[in-house]
Amino acid sequence: MRPAIPASTGVDAAFKLLLKRLDRVRQSVNRSAARDMKRDDYEAVKAWMEVGQTVGEFGERVQNFLAEWRRLVKTSHMKPPREGVAGKSIGGGKSRKTPTWKFCEPAIKFVAEHGGSATHAEVLAALETRLVLTDADRRPLKRGPAWHVSVKRAARQCRQEGWIDRRVDLVWKLTSKGRAVAAQGAKWQGPQQ
């Protein structure tokens, strides 16, 4: 599949190149600090440590921008379903299954409203009343409706994003990052590449 954003691979490559060059700068700073340490010039070492810390923090911000860029490119590949009345698809009379990532934002918002923690059953009940589910979403599977499986996958995506804690007891517990996302009203932009 070709990228939907023209020249997006060039931007990705530029971020990677910037990260490599920042790593070289960090190595150079470390060498300079080691050289000054051998000379017992502790003031210079302290200054190099501050520079190194600043470079490291900048590198983390660049990593975050790269991740955000990749999410943007990934979501540009996805076409949202065209919906008509009551979740019915406009084209062809068939309803399409809602993409898994579309369950993340409303689930995170519900958990935040619920005090930062909710059972999987509570999340399912809330989403059923808040969302327009298509016929494909309601299609029965062995373990229940198809959208239940999608919500379980959405929980996995939220864990990968660091929005909820990794748990085995099917409880959605927001992390500080998840609380920030819910508070900002930031939209889930699909899974990372």
Question: Which residue intervals of the chain are DSSP H helices?
Answer: 8-38, 42-77, 104-113, 120-130, 135-138, 146-161, 176-184
Structural domain boundaries enclosing 119? 85-184
Domain harbouring 169, CATH code: 1.10.10
- Per-residue pLDDT tens for 144-160? 889 998 998 888 888 88
CB atoms within 10 A of CB 114: 15
In a domain, 191, yes or no: no
104 and 66 share a domain? no
Q: Give a yes or no: residue 51 inside a domain.
A: yes
Q: pTM of the full predicted structure?
A: 0.49
Which of 31, 59, 77 represents a domain boundary (last residue)?
Answer: 77
Of the residues 77, 102, 123, which one is the last residue of a structural domain?
77
Do 130 and 53 share a domain, yes or no?
A: no
Instruction: State the Cα–Cα distance between residues 121 and 164, nearest whole angstrom.
Output: 16
Judge whether 98 and 150 are in contact, CB under 8 Å. Answer: yes
pLDDT tens digits, one per residue of 40-87: 999 999 999 999 999 999 999 999 888 888 888 777 764 444 444 444
